[in-house]
Amino acid sequence: MSYFICRRAFRDAKGPVSTGSVIDPVEIKRFRFRLQEGHIVEVTEQNFEQYATLFEQRYGITIPKLDEISLVESEKAEVETEEKAEVETEEKAEVETEEKAEVETEEKAEVETEEKAEVKESTKAKAKPTVAKATAKAKVTENK
């Protein structure tokens, strides 16, 4: 097990990286270059004591032990999974509310179309008898 630590401060795309900070290789641009130049070093179980004394004497920084890093990484992973779960539940809730809103609007549209159809039918039904009566009266008056 190993981790990477910054030996010489430098500026990255996300901002300055200070000496002694633990680095995730994925987050650093031109990581291989910085590793080859010695700006970043890989700390393993075999060379931990060497780098611990170097950082303590030169920079006054106590670097974390490998066990502490693994605990911190596991805690970060737990936090990330919790955050992902929260985001997923929020997204599900948003999707459900959107679906409910769509269903409600569809139901309202159906009700409105049904009401319009009923209104049209009732007006047609009312109009037919009055027309029939008018024609019947007209026929009666013509016969006289």
Residue 64 has pLDDT above 70, yes or no: yes
Q: What is the pLDDT of residue 113?
A: 84
Q: What is the pTM of this model?
A: 0.46
Among 31-40, 44-53, 70-79, which is the least confidently predicted range? 70-79
Cβ–Cβ < 8 Å for 13, 3 = no
Q: Is the pLDDT of residue 9 over 80?
A: yes
Quote the CA–CA distance of 55 and 128 in Å, as a whole number.
99
pLDDT surpassing 70 at residue 17: yes
Residue 43 predicted with pLDDT over 70: yes
Strands 10-12 and 15-17 come out as antiparallel
Higher pLDDT, residue 76 or 92: 92
Per-residue tokens: 97: 């509310």
Q: Cα–Cα distance between 108 and 104 in angstroms, integer?
A: 6
The ranges assigned to domains in the chain are 1-63, 65-144
How many residues in total does the chain contain? 144
Q: How confident is the model at residue 102 (pLDDT cuts 50, 70, 90)?
A: confident
